[in-house]
Structure 1
Amino acid sequence: MDFASLIGIISGFALIVSAILLGGNASTFINVPGMMIVFGGTIAATLLTFPLKDIITAFKSAAFVFGTNKQRPEQLIQTMLQLTQLSRRKGLLALSEVKTNSPFLKRACNLIADASDEQMIRHVLRTEINSMKARHFNVQDVFKKMATYAPAFGMLGTLIGLIQMLSTLDDPSTIGPSMAVALLTTFYGSLLATVIFIPIAGKLKSRT
């Protein structure tokens, strides 16, 4: 469990909710039409931008934000040192029998054991790294785009609320509540972008 991510998201929501409760009635921050515009609009725009399988993969990958990093650099360095000692004692062919949880390292050992050319090994492994980065970038891009869409739909909801408010200017008592409802959609969009989507994209990028 990555406690930094857990503490971050809990403390972020806790501080916002506390500020709302200290400032007055929390029910004033609940507006179903505004939620429909922001949540529904963001999902709709994301579905229009990306294939469904990429979106499903992105939401599944979001779980990695709260997981621990399984690969530690110091452990990999120690493994590499052990491989050099093994190749000196038993020859390069012995590397094909190495047991490892890293598919990347296993592929490298197999290429070396097959007496592949150094440039070929570099090319194959670099291609695999670039492919991994591309897959991870697609996942990160889903959340980055959602972080862009959410505030935009929040502003769209605000404009809808202002239009509805202006249509009832003959009743001054409705101006205040209507303005509050109009601004709530901007609040929802900013909340989703700054507390959820952008942090998730950033954490996934750091994991890559």
Structure 2
Amino acid sequence: MISLIVGIAGFACSLWFMIFHGGKNFQGFWEPSAAVLLGVAPLSVMLMSHSFIDFFAGLKTLMSLAFLNQSKEMNQISNQLSTLSYAVRTEGIGVLAKYKPQLKNQLFRDGVTLILSSFTAEEIRHNLTAKINGKQTQFSHAVNLFENLGKLCPGMGLLGTIVGLVQMLSHMSDPGKLGPSMAIALLTTLYGLVLGTVVYTPISEKIAIYAEKTLQLDLMILEGVLLLKEKKSQAHLRDVLSTYSTSVGAQKQMPGQAPSLDGNAPPKSRVS
């Protein structure tokens, strides 16, 4: 999300320099009617093909990008899985109840709950896979929403251009009105291109990348939970999880030793 904001800011600065370097002021590039058309019309058209639920879910997904660090979360969860693997092999499945309140990831918590509820491995896989698919469907709707907005805005800009040209041609007898009408025609095109190519399209691509990373994280959690169910060793668990993230297993540990969920290592001991 930060990179998206920096990118938009960089584009805005370059556009500002282009405008003011030529000795012009920004007032000449501001047209309220064009701004209203490009700000309201594309969103209104999207509501014709998307429900309010999809619309607000897309906005919610966009907002969530600003508060999540997936690389950090993946590394944290992999360490937590390593910790739980050690605890399960030394103290039994029931010890998961003690660690469950410390788990912040909802899918991870759900998986641990299923283990504690004595679900089979196949039932756990089916349950968590359904949740993962539901989350990916939500991401798909968000990507589709912003991608369509990116395609729609230039078209709306062209619509405004046609309106401006019609106004200009209808006032050919009054030269004083030709300039403002032509300005509306050009500025609606400009606004449409900016919103489509600089705002909505990058947002859709950002959400698509975020969805891919989230899928990798969720699949890692799914595999980790199943390995906990089977009481696999830390070494085996880290080897499997390393396929999802190069950061998994990067933390050096003594044989048979696992860090606590808060990152502090417990006293040395060995798995029997």
| TM interval, short-chain normalised | 0.7 to 0.9
Do the aligned residues in 1 keep the contact of 2:42 with 2:156 (CA within 8 Å)?
yes
The Cα offsets for residues 140-176 of structure 1, whole Å up to 9 and x where unpaired, read as: 3222222122111111001111222223344567555
Q: What letter is aligned with 2:183?
A: A
1:198 paired with 2:197, answer no
The Cα offsets for residues 3-42 of structure 1, whole Å up to 9 and x where unpaired, read as: 4233222222121122122232322211122222222211
Do the aligned residues in 2 keep the contact of 1:41 with 1:153 (CA within 8 Å)?
yes
Separation in 2 of the partners of 1:16 and 1:72?
36
Do the aligned residues in 2 keep the contact of 1:96 with 1:113 (CA within 8 Å)?
yes
Partner of 1:16: 15
1:85 paired with 2:86, answer yes
Separation in 2 of the partners of 1:62 and 1:110?
29
- Name whichever structure is richer in helix by fraction: 1
Q: Which range is displaced more, 51-60 or 179-188?
A: 51-60
> SS in structure 1 opposite 2:206?
helix
Partner of 1:47: 47
Gapped regions of structure 1 (runs ≥ 5)? none
Q: Which range is displaced more, 68-77 or 26-35?
A: 68-77
1:147 paired with 2:158, answer no
Map 1:19-30 → 2, pairs under 5 A: 19-23=18-22, 24-30=24-30
Q: How many residues align?
A: 207
Gapped regions of structure 2 (runs ≥ 5)? 212-272
Q: What letter is aligned with 1:18?
A: F
Do the aligned residues in 2 keep the contact of 1:147 with 1:193 (CA within 8 Å)?
yes
Partner of 1:75: 76
Greater CA radius of gyration, 1 or 2? 2
1:112 paired with 2:111, answer no
The Cα offsets for residues 117-160 of structure 1, whole Å up to 9 and x where unpaired, read as: 22221111111100011122222322222212211111100111
Shift of 1:43: 2.1
What is the TM-score with the length of structure 1 in the denominator? Answer: 0.87
1:122 paired with 2:122, answer no
Separation in 1 of the partners of 2:109 and 2:57?
25
RMSD: 2.2
Over 4 Å off, 4+ runs:
170-177
Q: What letter is aligned with 1:8?
A: G
Q: What letter is aligned with 2:81?
A: M
Do the aligned residues in 2 keep the contact of 1:58 with 1:139 (CA within 8 Å)?
yes
Shift of 1:177: 4.9
Q: What letter is aligned with 2:46?
A: T
Q: What letter is aligned with 2:133?
A: N
Percent identity at matched positions?
27
Map 1:140-179 → 2, pairs under 5 A: 140-170=143-173, 175=178, 177-179=180-182
Separation in 2 of the partners of 1:166 and 1:156?
16
Do the aligned residues in 1 keep the contact of 2:146 with 2:200 (CA within 8 Å)?
yes
The Cα offsets for residues 69-97 of structure 1, whole Å up to 9 and x where unpaired, read as: 26522222111111111110112232243
Q: What letter is aligned with 1:64?
A: S
